[in-house]
């Protein structure tokens, strides 16, 4: 697959996601300029081979990737468009509808912007946690606005393919509801389990095994970044948490024997859980997009 639309990329934000994208693009021979509000972080990313530090007078990028926390995306987008840093813009924030609404409100050029979200990540942060293969075979959601131009979408789809990921076109609201269920609410649930062990005794911890480790792995994520993410998808995440709380409250009542009718609730939750597990385990993503047509992005449209 030869991709000619993406030869020069600017990555704004050199955290684990931005640096991973930069490393993946460098492996495919793309020129990458890196920027971050913290010069030390850019220096680290440069040292890791992720590209070179962005400098005044750099030629405009084919694609500008905004890899900041969600709350900074629109400010950075507007400033980057004002400075004409590139032809096409995308971001990587894990909640989309609120960012799109703010980009509309503040007069960003939406024809040149594709809201995006690579569905890969690590619970570690910073450029040193970056990996060139982080997105290989992973879905990468794209939520184009009605105003988004075809060539704009094409360029961002090409960038996704260069990172080895699978572009998925999905409406922002559908995306946000889905990630609330598969990622954002589970993050808080993982925290609630892990929080229980903050000051636990050694006797308890010494009996822990892989089950607990798996259930608490994602709780390691940086709290300030996660607060930002969750506040950008607040209603959808709250809705998922409320169904989980209802199930667990019923289970606790059944175990307390408070409610004779609740005994069935325990069994019901165990059965539904095992069925849900099967659904998740059986899920196989579609095969990678191998060839994109000249005009029509041949990406899976979902939602």
Using CB under 8 A as the binding rule, the residues of this chain from 93 to 152 that contact a copy of itself are 119-121, 138-139, 141
| Token couple for 25 | 């693009």
Return the DSSP state at 295: S
Options 136, 151, 188, 292; binder of a copy of itself; rule CB under 8 A: 188
Instruction: Report, in this order, helix, strand and coil percent for the chain, each rounded to 5.
Output: 50, 15, 35
Options 75, 106, 128, 204; binder of a copy of itself; rule CB under 8 A: 204
Are residues 256 and 211 in contact, defined by beta-carbon separation less than 8 angstroms?
Answer: no
Question: Nearest approach, Cβ of 180 to a copy of itself (angstroms)?
Answer: 9
DSSP SS3 for 3 = coil
Are residues 13 and 64 in contact, defined by beta-carbon separation less than 8 angstroms?
Answer: no
Options 101, 208, 296, 298; binder of a copy of itself; rule CB under 8 A: 208
Question: Nearest approach, Cβ of 124 to a copy of itself (angstroms)?
Answer: 12
23/230 with CB nearer a copy of itself = 230
Q: Does 82 bind a copy of itself (CB under 8 A)?
A: no
Options 106, 128, 267, 296; binder of a copy of itself; rule CB under 8 A: 267
Q: Does 274 bind a copy of itself (CB under 8 A)?
A: yes
200/296 with CB nearer a copy of itself = 200
Q: Does 303 bind a copy of itself (CB under 8 A)?
A: yes
DSSP for 59-117 reads PPEEEEEE-S-GGGHHHHHHHHHHTT-EEEEEE--S--HHHHHHHHHTT--GGGEE-EE
Burial level of 142, CB count in 10 A (0-12/13-18/19+)?
buried
Q: What x-and-dash track marks residues 27-56 binding a copy of itself by CB under 8 A?
A: ------------------------------
């Amino acid at each position: 697959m030869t991709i000619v639309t993406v030869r020069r990329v600017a990555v704004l934000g050199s955290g684990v996601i931005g640096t991973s994208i930069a490393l993946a693009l460098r492996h495919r021979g793309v020129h990458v300029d890196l920027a971050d509000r913290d010069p030390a972080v850019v220096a680290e990313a440069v040292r890791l081979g992720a590209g070179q530090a962005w400098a005044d007078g750099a030629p405009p990028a084919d694609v500008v990737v905004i890899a900041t926390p969600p709350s900074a995306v629109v400010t950075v987008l507007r400033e980057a468009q004002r400075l004409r840093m590139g032809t096409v813009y995308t971001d990587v924030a894990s909640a989309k509808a609120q960012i799109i609404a703010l980009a509309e409100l503040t007069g960003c050029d939406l024809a040149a912007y594709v809201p995006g979200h690579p569905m890969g990540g690590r619970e570690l942060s910073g450029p040193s946690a970056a990996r060139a293969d982080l997105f290989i075979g992973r879905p990468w959601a794209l939520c184009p606005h009605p105003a988004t131009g075809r060539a704009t979408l094409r360029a961002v789809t090409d960038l996704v393919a260069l990172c080895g990921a699978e572009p998925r076109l999905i409406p922002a609201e559908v995306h946000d509801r889905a990630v609330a269920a598969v990622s954002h609410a589970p993050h808080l649930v993982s925290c609630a389990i892990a929080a229980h062990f903050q000051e636990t005794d050694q006797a308890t911890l010494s009996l822990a095994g892989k089950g607990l480790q798996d259930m608490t792995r994602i709780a390691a994520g940086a709290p300030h970044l996660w607060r930002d993410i969750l506040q950008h998808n607040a209603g959808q995440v709250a809705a998922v948490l409320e169904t989980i709380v209802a199930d667990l409250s019923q289970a606790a009542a059944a175990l307390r024997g408070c409610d004779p009718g609740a005994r069935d609730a325990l069994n019901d939750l165990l059965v539904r859980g095992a069925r849900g597990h099967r659904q998740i385990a059986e899920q196989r993503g579609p095969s990678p997009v191998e060839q994109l047509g000249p005009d029509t992005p041949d990406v899976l449209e979902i939602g």
